[in-house]
Structures are given as structure tokens and as C-alpha cells.
Amino acid sequence: MIVTIDMLHQIFMRWNEQYFDNSLPKPKLALHCSVTVPGKYDYTIDEYGDIQRDCISISKSFDWDEEHLVDVVLHEMIHEYVYEFHHDKGDGPHGQSFQYVMNIINNKFGRHITIDHDLSNMKRVKWTYRLAWWLSNNRHYL
């Protein structure tokens, strides 16, 4: 399936409630075109050390199955959780704090979240689908 912002919103809301007890503030949700990075979490820190703007983005270049998409979104939500509540603790983006939360979610909910995303079995969306998606979402540029 081709991912949409609405899908990301639904996944974020469901899992924020089910696992994170609605503790995560909703970030901006976006789509990107990378064929090597399926998902990413970006944030900006202000002069007081607080997160000001954050964004979870997922690649629209893949034909996602639901389970893999949820696992990638959860991976990015774990980044948000670690940065929001543990302030990274200096152990890197996939350090002990990240792995601790990842292992709890995997064990409690039967998920398959990993540190490295395996893209070998992912089918890419054909360029015609990407072009159609771009045209349907960017008519104001025409």
C-alpha cells in the first residue's frame, strides 16, 4: 500500500494511546522520497534545551505492508519518546534507552521493531505511482 499522512496519523494516535499512554505530543507527520531511509525522526532544540519542533517522516517510495509500516512508525515514535523524556542520556540514537523501550514494545505487543530497517524485501513504488501521488498533492504548482 502507498502510505498517506492520514495512515500515519491513525498509527500514531493508536500506538500513542496503547503503549505511550498518550504521553507523546503529536509531531508533524510527513512523507519523504528516500529509497534508503524508510523513516526518520527530526527535532529542533531551543536555547533552554526543550524540543520545539519535531517531525516523523516516512518514505513514500515503498509499497508498504501494514505490519512493517507500523513497526517503522513505532521505531520513530521511540526516538521521540527517548528524546522527549530521557533527553537521549548521551547514549546515541539507538543506545540503551532506545533499545530498552524497543524491547518492551516488542515483548509486550509482539512487534518486530529493529534498530536497522531491512529493506531487502521491500518493493519500491513505481515512478508512475509517485508521479500520480505528487500531482494529486501539488496541484497548486501546476
119-129: per-residue pLDDT in tens?
Answer: 667 666 665 45
Residue 130 has pLDDT above 60, yes or no: no
Residue 77 has pLDDT above 60, yes or no: yes
Residue 135 has pLDDT above 90, yes or no: no
Could you tell me which of 9, 35, 1, 21 has the C-alpha nearest to residue 129? 1
Q: Which CA distances in Å does 109 have to 38, 73, 105, 106, 138?
A: 22, 15, 6, 6, 38
User: Which pLDDT score is estimated for 23?
Assistant: 93
Looking at residues 108-122, what average pLDDT do you find? 81
6-29: per-residue pLDDT in tens?
Answer: 999 999 999 999 999 999 999 999
User: Is the model more confident about 4 or about 86?
Assistant: 4
The 8-class DSSP code of residue 139 comes to G
Say which residue the cell 505487543 belongs to.
109
User: Is the model more confident about 120 or about 107?
Assistant: 107
Beta bridge partners of 63: 123
Phi, psi dihedrals of residue 108, rounded to the nearest 5°:
-75, -35
90-104: per-residue pLDDT in tens?
Answer: 577 888 889 999 999
